């Protein structure tokens, strides 16, 4: 977009492009509880949403003082894969929102690359991003560190202050702010409670939306009103 303030829109995946957070949290909560670390889906969501599995499991093992069995990853992975195949859907309106943007787009997610690609393929979104898929496995530190967003921007030749990040998680918003990017919070996923938008704003989201139909208009308004008076 000639003369635009922005040059790139960076999307998180889980909870922003695809409604996968309930599937992921159910699998982890069930297998963790079976292993002896009893935790509910809501507790898991509140503490670890947006964090990579590796970092989440590192924290859990440290707190628990025990090591999860070698079969843990396989058991969780099988549960998630089965449920993704059965019930994963795209976030309502996200495909149309992306198509309405006049800016390059990419994905920057805490998921591993093969899972990002699989989720987008299952929901018909993959072609909209091509090879512009970036994973926390590609950087030293995952969210809330800014590394992943800065890496994505660098790979696509865009200065951080010309990037918009769309995120549903608190660590994701923190990472976008730390990267010097404009953060838009999204609270339209089925895992978001009524207070989630307030929490996103408190972590630094410049604006919070609960419907993807709003995204193109919001980005255009940011572009017109460069002081971001929201």
pLDDT score of 182: 97
**How many CB atoms lie under 10 A from the CB of residue 212?**
22
How many domains are contained in the chain? 2
Write the pLDDT tens digit of every residue in 91-102.
999 999 999 998
**Same domain for 60 and 13?**
no
Q: Look at residue 63 and tell me if it is in a domain.
A: yes
pLDDT at 124 over 90: yes
Largest separation between any pair of C-alpha atoms in the chain:
56
Question: Domain of 37: which CATH number?
Answer: 1.10.150.240
Write the pLDDT tens digit of every residue in 30-88.
999 999 999 998 899 888 887 888 889 999 999 999 999 999 999 999 999 999 999 99
* Cβ–Cβ under 8 Å, residues 152 and 134: yes
Q: Look at residue 102 and tell me if it is in a domain.
A: yes
Domain boundary among 45, 72, 87: 87
- Strand positions, DSSP E, 54-142: 105-109, 133-135
- On average, the pLDDT of the chain sits at 92
Nearest CA to 195 among 212, 210, 217? 210
pLDDT at 153 over 60: yes
Share of the chain above pLDDT 90, in %: 81
Domain boundary among 69, 87, 105: 87
**Same domain for 72 and 94?**
no
Q: Look at residue 146 and tell me if it is in a domain.
A: yes
Domain region containing 131: 8-20+89-224
Nearest CA to 104 among 141, 82, 134, 78? 134
* Cβ–Cβ under 8 Å, residues 110 and 52: yes
Over residues 158-177, the mean pLDDT reads 97
**Same domain for 29 and 141?**
no
Nearest CA to 197 among 174, 220, 167, 226? 167
pLDDT score of 47: 87
Q: Look at residue 94 and tell me if it is in a domain.
A: yes
**How many CB atoms lie under 10 A from the CB of residue 66?**
12
pLDDT at 230 over 60: no
**Same domain for 129 and 191?**
yes
Q: Look at residue 104 and tell me if it is in a domain.
A: yes
**Same domain for 71 and 96?**
no
HEC readout, 149-209: HHHHHHHCCCCHHHEEEEECCHHHHHHHHHCCCEEEEECCCCCCCCCHHHHHHHCCCCEEE
């Amino acid at each position: 977009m000639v003369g635009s303030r922005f040059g790139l829109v960076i999307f998180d995946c889980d909870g922003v492009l695809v409604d996968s957070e309930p599937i992921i949290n159910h699998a982890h909560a069930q297998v963790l509880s079976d292993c002896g670390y009893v935790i509910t889906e809501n507790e898991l969501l509140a503490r670890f949403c947006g964090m990579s599995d590796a970092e989440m499991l590192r924290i859990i093992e440290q707190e628990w003082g025990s090591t999860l069995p070698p079969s843990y990853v396989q058991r969780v992975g099988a549960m998630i894969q089965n449920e993704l195949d059965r019930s994963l859907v795209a976030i309502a309106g996200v495909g149309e929102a992306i198509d309405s943007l006049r800016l390059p787009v990419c994905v920057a997610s805490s998921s591993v690359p093969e899972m990002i690609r699989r989720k987008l393929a299952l929901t018909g979104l993959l072609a909209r991003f091509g090879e512009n898929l970036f994973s926390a496995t590609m950087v030293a530190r995952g969210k809330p560190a800014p590394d992943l967003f800065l890496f994505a921007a660098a790979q696509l030749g865009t200065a951080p202050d010309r990037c918009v990040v769309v995120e549903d998680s608190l660590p994701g918003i923190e990472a976008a702010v730390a990267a010097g990017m404009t953060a838009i919070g999204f609270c339209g996923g089925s895992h978001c409670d009524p207070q989630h938008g307030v929490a996103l704003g408190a972590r630094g989201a410049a604006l919070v939306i609960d419907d993807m139909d709003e995204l193109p208009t919001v980005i255009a308004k940011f572009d017109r009103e460069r002081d971001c008076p929201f």
